[in-house]
A and B are shown apart, each in its own frame.
Chain A
Amino acid sequence: MAVNPQQEELRERVLTRSGGGVDAGAPIRQTSLWRDAWYRYRANRAAVIAGGLFLLLVVYVVFAPILSPYDPYGVDFSQAYQPISWSHPLGTDQYGRDLFTRTALGGRISIGIGFAATIAIMGIGILYGSISGFVGGRLDNGMMRFLDALYGLPYLPFAIIVTQLFQTVNFWVMVTALTIASWFTAARVVRGQIISLKENDYVRAARAVGARWYRILARHLLPNTLGVLIVFAFLELPGVILGEAFLSFIGLGINPPQASWGSLAQDGRDVYLAHPTMILIPSVAIAWLILCAFFIADGLRDALDPRTRET
Chain B
Amino acid sequence: MALLEVRDLRTYFATRDGDVRAVDGVSFSVERGRTLGIVGESGCGKSVTALSIMGLIPKPPARIVSGSIQFDGKVLTQLREAELENLRGREMAMIFQDPMTSLNPTLTIGTQITETLRRHLGMSARDADRRAVELLEEVRIPRAQERLKDYPHRYSGGMRQRVMIAIALSCNPKLLIADEPTTALDVTVQAGVLDLLEELREEHQMAMIVITHDMGVVAEAADDVVVMYAGQIVEQASSLGLFDRPEHPYTEALLGALPSLEGEGGREARLASIPGRPPDLLDPQAACRFAPRCPFAGLNDYCSVEAPELRELRPGHWVRSAHPASERAPV
Q: Roughly how many angstroms separate A205 CA and B152 CA in the complex, as a whole number? A: 14
Interface residues of A in 1-57 (CB under 8 A from B): 1, 3, 14-22, 24-25, 28, 33
Which of A1, A15, A209, A224 has a CB less than 8 Å from the CB of B167?
A209
Residues of chain A lying within 8 A (CB to CB) of residue B101: 200-202
Distance (whole angstroms) from the CB of B122 to the closest CB of chain A: 13
| CB of A223 within 8 Å of the partner chain | yes
Find out whether the CB atom of A25 lies under 8 angstroms from the CB atom of B104: no
Which of B155, B168, B192 has a CB less than 8 Å from the CB of A19?
B192
Which of A17, A22, A212, A224 has a CB less than 8 Å from the CB of B191?
A17
> Closest chain A residue to B89 by CB distance?
A209
> Closest chain A residue to B142 by CB distance?
A25
Find out whether the CB atom of B156 lies under 8 angstroms from the CB atom of A19: no
Which of B89, B98, B143, B162 has a CB less than 8 Å from the CB of A201?
B98
> Closest chain A residue to B100 by CB distance?
A201
Also in contact, A24 and B151, with CB within 8 A (given A200-B101, A205-B103, A224-B104) = no
Find out whether the CB atom of A224 lies under 8 angstroms from the CB atom of B106: yes
| CB of A137 within 8 Å of the partner chain | yes
Chain B positions 169 through 191: 1 when the CB is less than 8 Å from some CB of chain A, otherwise 0: 01000000000000001101101
Distance (whole angstroms) from the CB of B105 to the closest CB of chain A: 7
Residues of chain A lying within 8 A (CB to CB) of residue B141: 21
Residues of chain B lying within 8 A (CB to CB) of residue A200: 101
Interface residues of B in 71-93 (CB under 8 A from A): 85-90, 93
Find out whether the CB atom of B191 lies under 8 angstroms from the CB atom of A20: no
Q: Roughly how many angstroms separate A292 CA and B98 CA in the complex, as a whole number? A: 42
Find out whether the CB atom of A207 lies under 8 angstroms from the CB atom of B103: no
Chain A positions 226 through 254: 1 when the CB is less than 8 Å from some CB of chain B, otherwise 0: 10000000000000000000000000000
Which of B56, B94, B104, B262 has a CB less than 8 Å from the CB of A202?
B104
Residues of chain A lying within 8 A (CB to CB) of residue B96: 201, 204-205, 208
> Closest chain A residue to B159 by CB distance?
A21
Also in contact, A209 and B140, with CB within 8 A (given A19-B189, A19-B192, A202-B104) = no
Also in contact, A209 and B162, with CB within 8 A (given A22-B140, A224-B105) = no
Distance (whole angstroms) from the CB of A220 to the closest CB of chain B: 5
Chain A positions 198 through 216: 1 when the CB is less than 8 Å from some CB of chain B, otherwise 0: 0011101111111110010
Distance (whole angstroms) from the CB of A228 to the closest CB of chain B: 12
| CB of B119 within 8 Å of the partner chain | yes
Also in contact, A219 and B189, with CB within 8 A (given A202-B101, A205-B96, A212-B85) = no
Find out whether the CB atom of A210 lies under 8 angstroms from the CB atom of B142: no
Among A1, A14, A201, A220, residue most surrounded by chain B Cβ atoms (within 10 Å):
A201
> Closest chain A residue to B173 by CB distance?
A209
Among A24, A25, A204, A210, residue most surrounded by chain B Cβ atoms (within 10 Å):
A210
Residues of chain B lying within 8 A (CB to CB) of residue A16: 191, 195
Find out whether the CB atom of A20 lies under 8 angstroms from the CB atom of B158: yes
Distance (whole angstroms) from the CB of B150 to the closest CB of chain A: 8
Find out whether the CB atom of A20 lies under 8 angstroms from the CB atom of B106: no
> Closest chain A residue to B170 by CB distance?
A209
Q: Roughly how many angstroms separate A28 CA and B88 CA in the complex, as a whole number? A: 35
Which of A1, A15, A25, A205 has a CB less than 8 Å from the CB of B102?
A205
> Closest chain A residue to B263 by CB distance?
A1
Find out whether the CB atom of A20 lies under 8 angstroms from the CB atom of B142: no
Which of B85, B159, B191 has a CB less than 8 Å from the CB of A14?
B191
| CB of B212 within 8 Å of the partner chain | no
Find out whether the CB atom of A210 lies under 8 angstroms from the CB atom of B186: no
Find out whether the CB atom of A219 lies under 8 angstroms from the CB atom of B191: no
> Closest chain B residue to A197 by CB distance?
B104
Distance (whole angstroms) from the CB of B274 to the closest CB of chain A: 27
| CB of B60 within 8 Å of the partner chain | yes
Please name 25 pairs of A and B residues whose Cβ atoms are closer than 8 Å in the assembled complex, sorted by A.
A15-B191, A17-B191, A19-B196, A21-B162, A201-B96, A202-B105, A204-B56, A205-B94, A205-B96, A206-B115, A207-B56, A207-B88, A208-B88, A208-B96, A209-B88, A209-B119, A210-B88, A210-B120, A211-B89, A211-B115, A212-B85, A212-B119, A219-B104, A224-B104, A224-B105
13 extra interface residue pairs, beta carbon distance < 8 Å, beyond A25-B143, A212-B85, A226-B106 = A14-B188, A19-B140, A20-B186, A21-B155, A137-B60, A202-B102, A202-B103, A205-B96, A205-B103, A207-B56, A209-B170, A220-B104, A223-B107
| Residues of chain A having any CB pair with chain B under 8 Å | 1, 3, 14-22, 24-25, 28, 33, 137, 200-202, 204-212, 215, 219-220, 223-224, 226
Q: Which 9 A-B pairs have the closest CB atoms?
A: A19-B192, A209-B89, A20-B158, A20-B189, A21-B159, A210-B89, A210-B88, A201-B101, A21-B156
